[in-house]
Amino acid sequence: MDITRIIGPLNEAQRQAVTSPHASLLVLAGAGSGKTRVLVHRMAWLMRAEGIPPHGILAVTFTNKAAMEMRGRVEGLLEINARELWMGTFHGLAHRLLRRHARDAGLPNAFQILDSDDQYRLIRRILKNLDLDEARWPPRQIQWFINACKDEGRRARHLPESYDAFQIQMQRVYLAYEETCDRTGVVDFAELLLRTHEFLRDNPEMLAHYQRRFHHVLVDEFQDTNRIQYAWLRLLTRDRDNLFVVGDDDQSIYGWRGAKIENLYNFQRDYPRHELIRLEQNYRSTGTILQAANALIAHNQGRLGKTLWTQDLSGEPISLYAAFNEQEEALFVVERLRQWVEQGNLRSEAAILYRSNAQSRQFEEKLVALGIPYRVYGGLRFFERAEIKDALAYLRLIANRADDASFERIINTPVRGMGPKTLDTIRDTARNERCSLWEAAQRSCLDTELPARARNSLSGFLELIETTAADTSDLALWEQVQRVIARSGLLDHYRKEKGEQAEARLENLEELINAARQFEYEPADEDLGKLDQFLAHAALEAGENQADGFQDCVQLMTLHSAKGLEFDLVFMVGMEEGLFPSLHSLEEPGRLEEERRLCYVGITRARRKLYLTHAECRRIYGKENYPRPSRFVREIPAEHLEEVRVRGTVKRPVGAATLGGHVRNDAGLRLGQRVLHAKFGEGVILQQEGEGSQARVQVNFADVGMKWLMLAYANLQSL
DNA sequence: TGTTAATAAATTTTT
DNA sequence: TTTATTAACA
């Protein structure tokens, strides 16, 4: 038996978690402590040592990437095909259950999934229907409201009556939104979870069936679960006490989208027989980096408590660089990257991490200038591109004529002579007859309300969908996709258009056919036709945002998307008050703590070397700002920091005064010079004007901000 | 119907 | 500053 393979490579705490006789377990796993390893080996242990069949294990993750990695590692460890394991994202698994029990869950068999873009469009349409002004009821805010309600498990009818006019309208939209989704057979992401929860809760036999089936339920990144996800897990495991969760309260960075750290406390309360295990040994970073991270996170209140340690005690100090402005910051980082590559290191082992996506531009420009290949994470993903969504909308309408969202999207895309008036008539008919837009369109073709020209175009469109559906029903998926793209006129539409964009769109459509071809190898789903399976796949896994993942590239991404990754060399840039921590988080202490956790996540991404940079001056929305360095920098003990100057490195603790001569004349000054003022403390010179006794300088002080000072009286010391 | 000028807004993101 | 959306126009 290969038990030694399973427990051999583990440390004491990991082994304890993997082999625990308890079925309910809370593993507090610090950054880089091997949490995925514990999950993978736990599953292997359950199957090999405890004889649990693969289909008796349910493993839940947040992203498809994590699920895929886990599956791959289980297969590698046990040399089995792990297909029988129920492993996937919350949404993926909920989707699977809903497909299997669509009727019992109150859904049509051919229900379609709305992604956030579809959802947004639908909400806008409903606002129009209800005659509400988008300026007063911003669709984004309503979308946020609806999703937040669903994440909390609240239906529109559950909401308390409100006297606030704004609230009343939001609830009205929510109600209409639910009604439309039900009528047209579409389900948004949050609905997948809510609907599954209600289905299990209200069908005791079904619930009992799944409770019996799953001997063990394992959850990754438990600190990121929201209320409905926890309720869902609770239903499945409450009678058998068999929930195994892995998480890290210090890495909870998604509170703003509904994640509840409280679920960690709820778990401890609801599973009183659980065992608590801490994984505190870090195998990733140097001692210096870990100590800095520990010191930083110690500033947060109410932690579950956990201190990372490593056998490595050494490590280069963390470098801190104060740039003059954001341009110069980028220049510095890219220059260091150039040296890194020159020393023979891999570009893909270096990352630039920033708080907000807008910051990437400066770095991209400088990287391009030096010809260093890079990859930016985030942004539009494959299945989210407009042309792809257009093509998918045709396919969805073929799969389900009641899908109003898709109908609206493509009725006049590409343009076929149906303007807003025609559409309005159809919408009116649909509303009056309480039928789908498709049916309404059919009726409009028959009566004479529409002008003849519009009627012609409309019946042409209806026929296009019908004949394409009939002609392609027997074809292989990829051929079906190919035909639809051609017959819909999308191909011609982009062919006529010129420019790089149109060309890229054509390539993407080509790529969609390829994706469909690849999809043929996907194992068939017993509950689903190939086309429906493909459409669900497109909605649930939006795909990568860039195709060429194989080139050796410097990695650029937000701190959020860096979670779970690690690099030898990390630059955390824009370490400034108002940027990081962000302006929006300064009021609420809770949000500030989340920012600090985000900083903790960033620091612990680095294996060997970490740089922190900030700029004395930064343009934000076209205006110049002079931010102070981030408080997080100050929360890292000075002994782990080393200030970097462009000309050589000065080794000295940050903040301590150093001797320097008086600044007597213009020659002794330069922009960016650090100076000390008797009253205002440390600062940096940003501008100067005038000469001789009239000379003035603008200084940005760390503590008191911007000041104009007369050079003759200021008595500045240079640092 | 498609283009252009004006205007407003502007974290973090997965499913 | 950049981006998206909308209103006005040819």
Length of chain A: 719
The pLDDT of A238-263, averaged and rounded, is 94
CA of A497 to C1' of B2 (A): 12
**What's the CA gap between A346 and A485, in Å, rounded?**
41
**What's the CA gap between A588 and A584, in Å, rounded?**
9
User: What is the per-residue pLDDT for A380?
Assistant: 82
Q: Please identify which residue in the block is written with the tokens 């609801």.
A: A270
Known catalytic residue: A623?
no
CA A9 to chain centre: 32
**What's the CA gap between A216 and A221, in Å, rounded?**
17
More confident residue, A200 or A691: A200
Q: Which residues touch strand B (CB under 7 A)?
A: A 62-65, 89, 91-92, 115-116, 189-190, 256-257, 355-358, 377-378, 412, 415, 417-419, 540-542, 557-558, 560-561, 582, 584-585, 591, 595, 621-622
3-state SS, residue A113: strand
CA of A179 to C1' of C4 (A): 30
The pLDDT of A544-565, averaged and rounded, is 83
DSSP track, A419-462: -HHHHHHHHHHHHHHT--HHHHHHHHHHSSSS-HHHHHHHHHHH
CA of A581 to C1' of B15 (A): 27
Q: Which residue is nearest to nucleotide B14 (CA to C1')?
A: A63
pTM for the full model? 0.85
Range with lowest mean pLDDT among A17-31, A373-387, A561-575: A373-387
Q: Is the pLDDT of residue A661 over 60?
A: no
| Alpha helical stretches, state H, A57-185 | 64-78, 90-100, 116-129, 139-151, 165-184
User: What is the per-residue pLDDT for A121?
Assistant: 87
Percentage of chain A with pLDDT > 70? 94
Q: Which residue is nearest to nucleotide B11 (CA to C1')?
A: A356
Cβ contact A619 with chain C strand, < 7 A: yes
Q: Which residue is nearest to nucleotide B2 (CA to C1')?
A: A415
User: What is the per-residue pLDDT for A2?
Assistant: 74
User: What is the per-residue pLDDT for A35?
Assistant: 93
Considering only the C-alpha atoms of chain A, give the largest distance between any 2 of them, rounded to a whole number of Å: 92
Cβ contact A424 with chain C strand, < 7 A: no
Known catalytic residue: A69?
no
Q: Which long-range contacts (CB under 8 A, 24 or more apart) does A413-420 make?
A: A413/A490, A414/A488, A414/A489, A414/A490, A414/A492, A414/A493, A416/A457, A416/A460, A416/A461, A416/A489, A417/A453, A417/A454, A417/A457, A418/A454, A418/A457, A418/A458, A418/A461, A419/A454
Q: How would you class A567 by CB atoms within 10 Å of its CB: exposed for 0-12, middle for 13-18, buried for 19 or more?
A: buried
End-to-end CA distance of chain A: 67
Q: Tell me the torsion sign for CA atoms A161, A162, A165, A167.
A: negative
3-state SS, residue A554: strand
3-state SS, residue A688: strand
As separate numbers, helices (DSSP H) first and strands (DSSP E) second, chain A gives 28, 21
**What's the CA gap between A247 and A216, in Å, rounded?**
17
CA of A163 to C1' of B11 (A): 31
Cβ contact A202 with chain C strand, < 7 A: no
Pairing of β A25-29 and β A186-188: unpaired
Known catalytic residue: A389?
no
User: What is the per-residue pLDDT for A701?
Assistant: 79
CA of A250 to C1' of B12 (A): 16
Cβ contact A495 with chain C strand, < 7 A: no
The CA-atom distances, in angstroms, between A4 and each of A15, A34, A54, A78, A368 are: 11, 18, 20, 12, 50
Known catalytic residue: A195?
no
**Cβ-based neighbour number of residue A670 at 10 Å:** 10
Range with lowest mean pLDDT among A217-226, A246-255, A575-584, A642-651: A642-651
Q: Write the Ramachandran bin of A266: left for phi over 0, alpha for psi from -120 to 50, otherwise beta.
A: alpha
User: What is the per-residue pLDDT for A451?
Assistant: 79
User: What is the per-residue pLDDT for A370?
Assistant: 92
3-state SS, residue A355: coil
Give the model's confidence band at A648: pLDDT under 50 very low, under 70 low, under 90 confident, else very high: very low
Q: Is the pLDDT of residue A675 over 90?
A: no
**What's the CA gap between A607 and A697, in Å, rounded?**
41
Range with lowest mean pLDDT among A68-82, A240-254, A373-387, A408-422: A408-422
Q: Which nucleotides on chain B have any atom < 7 A from a protein Cβ?
A: 1-2, 9-15
DSSP state of A59: E
Question: Considering chain A, what is the average pLDDT of its residues?
Answer: 88
A325 membership: H or E segment, kind and range: strand A318-325
Q: Which of A118, A188, A191, A221 is catalytic?
A: A221
Cβ contact A420 with chain C strand, < 7 A: no
Q: Which of A251, A429, A468, A673 is catalytic?
A: A251
Q: Which of A605, A607, A609, A628 is catalytic?
A: A605
Q: Is there a contact between A488 and A409 (Cβ–Cβ < 8 Å)?
A: no
Known catalytic residue: A530?
no
Q: Is there a contact between A38 and A70 (Cβ–Cβ < 8 Å)?
A: no
pLDDT tens digits for range A500-526: 777 888 888 999 999 999 998 888 887
Q: Which of A220, A408, A616, A682 is catalytic?
A: A220
Q: Is the pLDDT of residue A654 over 60?
A: no
Give the model's confidence band at A688: pLDDT under 50 very low, under 70 low, under 90 confident, else very high: low
User: What is the per-residue pLDDT for A545?
Assistant: 63
Q: Which of residues 343-362 of A touch strand C (CB under 7 A)?
A: 361
CA of A135 to C1' of C7 (A): 15
Q: Which nucleotides on chain C have any atom < 7 A from a protein Cβ?
A: 1-2, 6
**What's the CA gap between A699 and A173, in Å, rounded?**
52
Known catalytic residue: A220?
yes
CA of A138 to C1' of C4 (A): 14
Cβ contact A661 with chain C strand, < 7 A: no
CA of A455 to C1' of C10 (A): 28
CA of A172 to C1' of C8 (A): 34
More confident residue, A46 or A497: A46
More confident residue, A313 or A318: A318
Looking across all nucleic acid strands, the nucleotide with the smallest C1' to CA distance from residue A139 is C5
pLDDT tens digits for range A526-553: 778 899 999 999 999 887 765 555 789 9
Give the model's confidence band at A669: pLDDT under 50 very low, under 70 low, under 90 confident, else very high: low
**What's the CA gap between A127 and A169, in Å, rounded?**
10
pLDDT tens digits for range A198-249: 999 999 999 999 999 999 999 999 999 999 999 999 999 999 999 999 999 9
pLDDT tens digits for range A131-190: 888 888 888 889 999 999 999 999 999 898 888 888 888 899 999 999 999 988 899 999
Q: Is there a contact between A384 and A539 (Cβ–Cβ < 8 Å)?
A: no
pLDDT tens digits for range A268-298: 999 999 999 999 999 999 999 999 999 999 9
Q: Which residue is nearest to nucleotide B9 (CA to C1')?
A: A621
CA of A686 to C1' of B15 (A): 46
Q: Is there a contact between A255 and A594 (Cβ–Cβ < 8 Å)?
A: yes
**What's the CA gap between A543 and A528, in Å, rounded?**
21
Range with lowest mean pLDDT among A262-266, A449-453, A538-542: A449-453
Cβ contact A621 with chain C strand, < 7 A: yes
Range with lowest mean pLDDT among A227-236, A344-353, A415-424, A534-543: A415-424
Angle at the Cα of A151 (from A150 to A152), degrees rounded to 5? 85
User: What is the per-residue pLDDT for A656?
Assistant: 31
Give the model's confidence band at A655: pLDDT under 50 very low, under 70 low, under 90 confident, else very high: very low
* DSSP β-bridge partners for residue A289: none
CA of A155 to C1' of C10 (A): 49
Q: Which residue is nearest to nucleotide B8 (CA to C1')?
A: A135
Q: Is the pLDDT of residue A322 over 90?
A: yes
Cβ contact A163 with chain C strand, < 7 A: no
| Alpha helical stretches, state H, A152-249 | 165-184, 189-202, 204-213, 227-237
